[in-house]
Amino acid sequence: MPADQYELYAQFGIAAEKAQVLEVAAGNVALSFVTMLVKPEEITPEEMQMYRAIVDEVNRKTFGSLLNHLKKALTLSDSLIQIVDEALERRNYLTHHFFRTHNFALYNEEGRKVMMAELKEIQGKLDIAHRTLEGMAAGIDQIVGRTTDRGMVERLVARGKKVNI
C-alpha cells in the first residue's frame, strides 16, 4: 500500500474519532442542561437511578437526534445552529458517503490528494463544532456554579492511557 494511501486511512480514522467525540460533547450539553438544578450532594438513590437512565438515553441517541433535542430545549443563535448542523452534515457524509463518493480516486495519487484535503476540511468543521459544544456545556455549568473536578479528569485520562491496544 502506498504511504499516502495509508495516511489517508489514518486521517479518515482521526476524522471518525473526532465525529464520535463530537457526539459525546452534544451529550454533555444535554446532560448539563438537564442537571442545571441538581445539587449532587442532595441526590437521593431514586434520583440517581433516574439520572443514570437519562445518561443511558443520551448515550443511545444519534448525534442528529441529540442536536434536534438541544435545538428544542435551548434558544440557540443562528450561527451556533449553522456550526452544529454543518458538523452533522459533514459527519454523516464522512460515515456514509466519503469513500463511495470518491470511488476510484483512492487508487491514484492525485485522487488521494483530493480526498486528503477533504478529510482535513471535515476535521476542521468537526473541531469547530466540538469547541462550540464544549463551550456551551461549560457555560451552563458556570452559570449554575458547577466546576470541573480536575483531579477526576486527570485520573480518567491516566486510566485511559493504561488501555492496551
Task: Indicate the number of domains in the chain.
Answer: 1
What's the confidence (pLDDT) of residue 152? Answer: 65
pLDDT-wise least confident of 66-70, 102-106, 130-134, 157-161: 157-161
pLDDT at 155 exceeding the cut of 80 = no
Q: For residue 19, what are the domain limits?
A: 3-161
Which residue has 452544529 as its cell numbers? 84
What span, in angstroms and rounded, lies between the C-alpha atoms of 99 and 106? Answer: 8
Radius of gyration of the chain, Cα coordinates, nearest whole angstrom: 19
What span, in angstroms and rounded, lies between the C-alpha atoms of 116 and 90? Answer: 14
Percentage of the chain exceeding pLDDT 90: 52
Which grid coordinates belong to 17?
474519532
Tens of pLDDT along 63-84? 898 888 888 888 899 999 999 9
94 in Cβ contact with 19 (< 8 Å): yes
Q: How confident is the model at residue 91 (pLDDT cuts 50, 70, 90)?
A: very high
What's the confidence (pLDDT) of residue 60? Answer: 86
* Pairwise pLDDT comparison (73 vs 16), residue with the higher score: 16
Return the beta strands (E) in 86-132 as ranges: none
What's the confidence (pLDDT) of residue 142? Answer: 87
Q: How confident is the model at residue 130 (pLDDT cuts 50, 70, 90)?
A: very high
* Pairwise pLDDT comparison (120 vs 153), residue with the higher score: 120
Q: pTM of the predicted model, to two decimals?
A: 0.83
Which grid coordinates belong to 124?
476542521
Cα distance between the two ends of the chain: 23
Which grid coordinates belong to 139?
457555560
Q: How confident is the model at residue 34 (pLDDT cuts 50, 70, 90)?
A: confident
